[in-house]
Amino acid sequence: MAITGSTGLIGSALVQALRWGGDDVVRLVRHEARGTDERQIFPDQRRIEAPGLDDVDAVVNLAGTAIAGGRWTDDYKRSILSSRISMTETVVAALSEDGRCQRLVNGSAIGYYGPTGDHAVDEHAPAGDDFLAHVVVAWENAAASAPVPTAYARTGHVMTPRGGYIGAQLLPFKLGLGGQVRDGRHWVSWISLDDEVAAIRWLLANDVTGAFNLTAPHPVTNARWTKAMGAALHRPTVIPFPVPVAAVLFGKDFVEGAMLSSQWVLPNRLEDAGFAFKDTEIEPALARLLND
């Protein structure tokens, strides 16, 4: 198994789970390989250090500049897009129809759909027309030419105290300073990190292709998510989230295009194919995740 983005939130947890399950994992890294489990990848040159992907059965491509990793300047937005395209094209170039590696699980995101408002969507919904939708469409298109069966993991907001959607919000909530964003009515399509990893492993193990929404079966409003966070931490949630501060830190485009984007996304293809979620409701999920 080869993985890009192996040091990220999802990638690091996936590597650990795969190794616990008995799989050998090769981490494709940008720096010079520091051990036998690492192999250097050169996305600017569209190549991977020998033997490339010739000695693995499958590859998971998760690499890309973090969406919430910095202020959304024009340069940062270009990096969000270009980092995903260059890495994906490099992985695809290393695959062959008759090679040993016969499976690609490519990272993707529910940003594909753009804002859905109060309307639920599944994998049959068309692409949106905002910045993140354009990024995800280009990302998936870059993987579409792969000569092996390919699945797109359209991931929602990942729930874990280690980062992700909870990330920078955890400390304020622990201090009793957490609160809902504006009126709290926008929808949050979430998934626990455990289910995210399990779903990717399921995509690797099953003969399926195309887009799959990696989101829990029951999305929630920001208001309900906020109350669930407070309950799990036994803290009040009466102070509104300081949207102007987030706009200063990350830019207005990020706040409006990512933080406040209402997305009600359902994992119909996963469930119809037999995948069973561990965490389906936000309240017990956060209680478990924040108190384990």
- 40 burial level (CB within 10 Å; 0-12, 13-18, 19+): middle
Q: What is the pLDDT of residue 253?
A: 81
Whole-number percent of the chain with pLDDT over 70? 100
Please give the residue range of the domain that contains residue 175. 2-289
Identity of the residue numbered 3: I
Query: Could you give the 3-state DSSP secondary structure of residue 144?
Result: helix
Taking 90 as the threshold, does the pLDDT of residue 136 lie above it? yes
**How far is Cα 120 from Cα 194, in angstroms, rounded to an integer?**
24
Q: Which of 159, 143, 263, 165 is nearest to 211 (CA)?
A: 143
User: What is Dmax (Cα atoms) for the chain?
Assistant: 59
**How far is Cα 94 from Cα 54, in angstroms, rounded to an integer?**
8
Whole-number percent of the chain with pLDDT over 90? 87
**How far is Cα 261 from Cα 111, in angstroms, rounded to an integer?**
9
127: pLDDT confidence band, cut at 50, 70 and 90? very high
Q: What is the pLDDT of residue 280?
A: 98
Please work out, in degrees rounded to the nearest 5, the angle formed at the alpha carbon of residue 94 by the alpha carbons of 93 and 97.
Answer: 90
Q: What is the pLDDT of residue 168?
A: 79
The CATH number for 246's domain is 3.40.50.720
DSSP code of 175?
T
Q: Count of domains in the chain?
A: 1
List pLDDT tens digits, range 2-58. Answer: 999 999 999 999 999 999 999 999 999 999 999 999 999 999 999 999 999 999 999
Query: Could you give the 3-state DSSP secondary structure of residue 206?
Result: coil
